Amino acid sequence: MGLGGCIILMAVGAILTFATDWHVKGANLDVIGVILMAVGLIGTVVFANIARRYRVMVPPTAPVVDEREIRRTRE
């Protein structure tokens, strides 16, 4: 599950918890929404840690050499 899936889980959980007043027999939608938000938050934290661990480090750039200095040393 990527970052987008985690954000969708959090959004659906927030909608179920805060924006609906449905009553389903045998299920509490508020609790389901909180669970979805928690799973989305945990997934986001895990994804961020994995992405930080595998981030590619940019090697330092080569030093800039001034051509005028090379010409002076050859003369």
Q: What does each of the 75 residues of the chain score in pLDDT, given as a tens digit? A: 788 999 999 999 999 999 998 888 999 999 999 999 999 999 999 998 888 777 666 666 767 666 665 555 555
Write down the pLDDT at residue 69: 59
pLDDT at 73: 58
pLDDT of residue 74: 56
36 class by beta-carbon count within 10 Å (0-12 exposed, 13-18 middle, 19+ buried):
buried
Return the residue matching tokens 């389901």.
Answer: 32
pTM above 0.75, yes or no: no
**pLDDT at residue 31, rounded to an integer:** 94
Spatial distance between the Cα atoms of 18 and 32, rounded to a whole number of angstroms: 11
